[in-house]
Structure 1
Amino acid sequence: MLDVRRLRLLRELAHRGTIAAVAEALAFTPSAVSQQLAVLEREAGVPLLERTGRRVTLTPAGHQLVEHAEAVLERLERAAAELADARRGLAGPLRIGTFPSAGRVIIPAALALLAREHPRLEPMVAEIDPAGVADALRAGELDVALVHDYDFVPSASDAGLDTEPLLEEPMYLASPASPPDSWGGGKAGGAGGPDQDQGQDQDPVGRWSEAPWILAMPGTMCHAMATRACQAAGFSPRVRHHIDDFSTVLALVTIGQGVALIPELGAGDPPPGVVLTRLAMRRRTRIAFRRGAGAHPAVAAFAGSLRAATGG
């Protein structure tokens, strides 16, 4: 009989690529992971791993077994959801992941609604970049999370996860009202909030090709989005600052330190001196959870609170 815990280790190796990464994510030692995978190979009766020097890759049989593991783990999530639904009332921790702008604008209202309906539920919120959500959900570090993608950065599919749409928002180019002439962008007009559709350029991103740019930290989806948007406009951005917090980004734009791309959730209260030009680009936010866990009453209750908080 194949052991579910060992199947989970094999599934994580398929996603994370190295035994060391699996061990770090699941709080094992690398030697313990290797030993458990060796036992799984004996249980399976066929080689599941190929070892070349210090590298380990899955054999075709290993990949096939991972597909079965995904199905088994999904069924276990569904079973846990049904058992939770049979209990009276929701109680205990619910580990929630969010990106910062949703954490500031959406999460507080959703948690207030959730507490009103389920006072014994204990939400525990952690900020996380959407790029790390899949690993955190599979590892059990999170139960549910908010993720986003952009027109230029679609979300990658993951066999172990499901998502549901929550909201869609426009993107804005944030620029100073009086940019230096050396930037080549010209005057951008008066400052305005995100409800004001400033600028009618055919290429509102390309007009700032000579300006310094403020991007998120490398490795994040926001960084990839801004980089690809600039490349689509025909240039590579000259990055001056790497900042994840949109309030800080807007403060730097105000004093002429650069231009940036900001989603609507991050541009709700811009400081004076910032011009927000609405773009055709969109950001989409989704609710993510382990496949099979969408019916869990705690996850479903939180998803319902999120939709109520966003008017969905």
Structure 2
Amino acid sequence: MLDPRKLRLLRELARRGTIAAVAEAVTFTPSAVSQQLSALEREAGVPLLERTGRTVALTPAGHLLVEHAQAVLEELERAAAALAAVRGAPSGPLRMGAFPTAARVLVPAALAELARAHPALEPMVREIDPADVSGALRAGELDVALVHEYDFVPPVTDASLATEPLFAEPMYLTGRRTLGDARHDPWIMSKPDTLCHTMAVRACQAAGFEPRVRHHVDDFDTVLAFAAAGQGVALVPRLAALAPPPGVTLTELSLSRRTLAAFRRGYGEHPAIRAAVAAFHTALTGLPLTPSNLPSSRPGPPLSRS
């Protein structure tokens, strides 16, 4: 019989590429991960890994087992959700993740709704970069998390996770009426290799120019403060621009950011997950945002940074 805990380690190795990275993700020692994977090979009866010096790669049999492991782990999540539904109203810990703007604007109202509708639940919020959500969900560190995606940047998805759309919001340009008007301005953008940065650069390129980036800032409140101080122009989502500082003008563009709730595939019908998603929707009723028209149950959350 194949051990699901060892199957999870093999799945992580397929995604992360090294035993050291798997060990860091699951808080094991590399030696313990290697021992577990060797035990899985004995259970499977065929080589799953090819070891060359300090590197390791999956064999064809290893890749095949990862495909089946995903289906097995999904069914186990589905079984856990079904048993939780039998027990009745959701209760106990609910570990939630949110990127900074959502944690500040949306999550407090959602927590109030959960307290009202499901007082037996104990939500625990962790502010987290969407790029780190997939690993945290797969490791069981989070049960549900808010992630987002932008125009101009196809999301990188994780087949072990599912998402449910929540809302879409427009992007705003500070200080100018069009992107073309800002071609000679200094820009304030998030750090390179983040989804926000890639979106902004590609939006400028689509307008026919390469942006001259002066400041790299991730927090949108700080971005708006820099814009108010005349330090450059920036693109910000509506959720971050509900109360801009004095002196900042905002022009709505035909660009959007979309926010989704992410959870482990098979776990979406768990009563606590349904309660969290419902609370997010209720919290949105008081905000000037548009419900998303994305299809539900997409094959995984975007790996992005905010």
Please confirm whether the aligned pair reaches a TM-score higher than 0.5, indicating the same fold.
yes
CA distance in 2, matches of 1:205, 1:132: 31
CA distance in 1, matches of 2:179, 2:57: 42
Q: How far has the Cα of 1:100 moved from its partner?
A: 1.0
Q: How far has the Cα of 1:219 moved from its partner?
A: 3.4
**2:63 aligned residue:** 63
Counterpart check, 1:140 vs 2:140 = yes
> 2:89·2:271 contact (CA, 8 Å) conserved in 1?
no
Q: Deviation digits for residues 167-210 of structure 1, max 9, x if unmatched?
A: 011101112xxxxxxxxxxxx4xxxxxxxxxx3xxxx2233222
Name the amino acid aligned to 1:172: Y
In the superposition, relative to structure 1, how do residues 250 and 19 fare at CA in structure 2: closer, same or farther (>3 Å)? same
**1:178 aligned residue:** none
CA distance in 1, matches of 2:219, 2:120: 32
Q: Give the structure with higher Rg (CA).
A: 1
CA distance in 1, matches of 2:154, 2:240: 20
> 1:214·1:241 contact (CA, 8 Å) conserved in 2?
yes
Superposed, which structure 2 residues align to 1:146-295 within 5 Å? 146-175=146-175, 188=176, 199=177, 204-295=178-269
Q: Deviation digits for residues 18-49 of structure 1, max 9, x if unmatched?
A: 11111001010011111111111121122211
Paired residues, number: 286
**1:40 aligned residue:** 40
Q: How far has the Cα of 1:4 moved from its partner?
A: 0.8
**1:181 aligned residue:** none
**1:304 aligned residue:** 278
CA distance in 1, matches of 2:207, 2:17: 35
Q: How far has the Cα of 1:51 moved from its partner?
A: 2.0
**1:78 aligned residue:** 78
> 1:130·1:221 contact (CA, 8 Å) conserved in 2?
no
TM normalised by structure 2 equals: 0.90
Q: How far has the Cα of 1:253 moved from its partner?
A: 0.3
> 1:173·1:276 contact (CA, 8 Å) conserved in 2?
yes
Where 1:274 maps in the other structure, the secondary structure is: coil
**1:17 aligned residue:** 17
Name the amino acid aligned to 1:29: T
Q: Deviation digits for residues 58-83 of structure 1, max 9, x if unmatched?
A: 11211111111111111111111111
Q: How far has the Cα of 1:231 moved from its partner?
A: 2.7
> 1:129·1:220 contact (CA, 8 Å) conserved in 2?
no
Q: How far has the Cα of 1:17 moved from its partner?
A: 1.4
**2:299 aligned residue:** none
Q: How far has the Cα of 1:218 moved from its partner?
A: 2.9
In the superposition, relative to structure 1, how do residues 59 and 232 fare at CA in structure 2: closer, same or farther (>3 Å)? farther
**2:111 aligned residue:** 111
Q: Deviation digits for residues 109-145 of structure 1, max 9, x if unmatched?
A: 1111110011121111111121211111101111000
> What RMSD in Å do the two structures reach over aligned CA positions?
1.3
CA distance in 2, matches of 1:59, 1:172: 48
**1:125 aligned residue:** 125
CA distance in 1, matches of 2:225, 2:270: 41
For structure 1, list consecutive stretches of 5 or more residues without a partner in the other structure.
Answer: 176-187, 189-198
> 2:10·2:66 contact (CA, 8 Å) conserved in 1?
yes
Name the amino acid aligned to 2:167: L
CA distance in 2, matches of 1:56, 1:212: 45
**1:27 aligned residue:** 27
Where 2:193 maps in the other structure, the secondary structure is: coil
Runs of 4+ in 1 over 6 A off after TM superposition: none
> 2:51·2:57 contact (CA, 8 Å) conserved in 1?
yes
